[in-house]
Homo-oligomer: A and B are copies of this chain.
Amino acid sequence: MDIGLVGLGKMGGNMRTRLRNAGHTVVGFDLDPEKRDVDSLEEMVQALPSPKVVWVMVPSGKITQDTVDALGELLGEGDLVIDGGNSRWTDDQAHAAQLGEKGIGFVDCGVSGGVWGLENGYALMYGGSADDVATAQPIFDALKPEGDFGAVHAGKVGAGHFSKMVHNGIEYAVMQSYAEGWELLQAVDVVDNTTEVFRSWREGTVIRSWLLDLLVGALDEDPGLASIAGYADDSGEGRWTVEAGIENAVATPAITAALYARFVSRQDDSPAMKAVAAMRNQFGGHAVQSAKSSGEPGPEPDLA
């Protein structure tokens, strides 16, 4: 089938390739002239036969909204927009309603797989009406991994991005789980080679997983991870997962721990810990460390 594809970054570009490999005709647009097939959204839309199907693969938030706005002007009755980006699931219903006023269908699709998706296929979770999903089905079939798993019609509009959000929340916590284990394994002087222990876990253990495989890959490249800073960004979906938990009174302590560990990893100095140190100093005469100084603090003065 013919597909318009907006956004040809690392993810969108690879998807174009995988769709074409499956025999589809993809007309891609991107702000970057070197990546795009056509020079404007208008040109892209004109190149598509009706009903026109457009896959949007741009950053969530304002850029996605702008793209939906623009497509709302260019598309019409019976056409379909699929948002494959990382939109917050609570935005989906608004986008569906906005486009629905013109008779344009809407499907939200969460995508997992990272840079490996081009070769292995992308896991897809999508939400929308049965008719709209049926229209998009050939695209999903081309993008998904081979085999029985990797694609699901999760429910109504929003269910796709909601499922992907929860997936990412789980991912945060699973990564944190391995990371804590790795730190502890290194901290005690009993294991000779932590990389080999992690490698051995790849088969037969309860905790074997793809993330474990990836971590072993990283450890093979740099056994002590000496070249990598203990600094981890977050891309929104972990926050949304915790917020969704809070709104629904669902405790997510492990996911939240993972998120907070990232927050703290990005601080040069912790204001909260400044306050703790200040209080300790007030009541106990505990030595405080001067800001930015290095070295151990002095001995505890409150006991002989």
Contacts and interface: CB of A to CB of B under 8 A. Distances in A.
Given A252-B184, A271-B225, A282-B214, A304 B30 contact: yes
A200 interface: yes
Interface centre among A112, A207, A208, A249 (most CB of B within 10 A): A207
Interface residues on A, range: 35 or more
Contacts of A46: none
A27 interface: no
A266 B162 CA distance: 25
Given A211-B209, A250-B263, A155 B192 contact: yes
Given A114-B302, A208-B210, A233-B280, 11 more contacts: A11-B302, A11-B303, A112-B201, A148-B202, A149-B201, A159-B190, A159-B192, A167-B181, A179-B276, A261-B273, A268-B294
Copies in the complex: 4
Interface stretch (A2-10, A73-81, A95-103): A2-10
A278 B228 contact: yes
A209 B203 CA distance: 11
12 contacts: A9-B303, A10-B302, A112-B207, A117-B204, A154-B197, A159-B191, A162-B185, A187-B271, A215-B282, A239-B247, A253-B257, A261-B272
